[in-house]
Amino acid sequence: MTRLSVNINKVATLRNARGGSIPDVQRFAADCERYGAQGITVHPRPDERHIKYSDLLPLKNIVQTELNIEGYPSEHFINIVLDIKPHQVTLVPDAPDAITSNAGWNTVEHQHFLHDIIIRFKNAGIRTSIFIDPITERIVHAQQTGTDCVELYTEAYAVNYSINREKAIENYVQAAATAHAHGLFINAGHDLNLENLKFFNERIPHLDEVSIGHALICDALYYGIENTIQMYLQQLK
């Protein structure tokens, strides 16, 4: 079964809007695991508008499944991750002012840059993943960076799912097959939701993990977080 990692950034956004500690992101993370989530994802950004760097160590201390920290590999980010030592780090090419991730790495152009960073994480015993578009050439070059995983950037799939889901998923099927052939684990994320997740999971071979935040937290406003996590897990069976 494909693992579900819940991105709790939006919970931190709600907390920060008022100040204080409500909702409690640590308790929320622990509850997500208790309700069946197999991982917790956070994406601290330089302006700390949602997850704060000070949240990371407390989360590492309470997450029992997998803590996945996403972010652009600035020296500041790298040093924090090396200090926290999460189970997984996902490298994304976000600009400092990006509202959300909007592209994967060009691993042809940035192969050596990523390779040098990934060595540092792997030497510390941290599993590495690269956020990437479903482009075969970039998947091949991702393997040459030394990464353990690729996370397929699924916005294009989500946008086109309602138009023609077979066509929307074509590049992802090929990308996943290429990644598996090159010994890479396969994660996916961005705009996956209760409408499009089941089809994606059924059609992508060797899919190990999906990271879902915005849609899942929005659904939880209506269904409650316990029910929502169960609904998403049902799509992954």
Q: What domains does the chain contain, in order, with CATH numbers?
A: 3-235 (3.20.20.70)
190 is catalytic: yes
**Kind and range of the H or E element at 102?**
none
- Out of 33, 43, 50, 141, the active site residue is 43
What's the token pair of residue 236? Answer: 């992954």
Gap between the Cα atoms of 92 and 41, Å rounded: 13
**Burial group, residue 46, by CB count within 10 angstroms (0-12, 13-18, 19+):** middle
Instruction: Reply yes or no: is the peptide bond before residue 134 cis, omega within 30 of 0.
Output: no
Query: Is residue 87 among the annotated active site residues?
Result: no
Concerning whether 33 is annotated as a catalytic residue, the answer is no
Catalytic entry in 70, 141, 151, 209: 70
Q: What is the pLDDT of residue 102?
A: 66
Can you list the residues of the chain whose pLDDT is less than 70? 95-102
* Entry pTM: 0.95
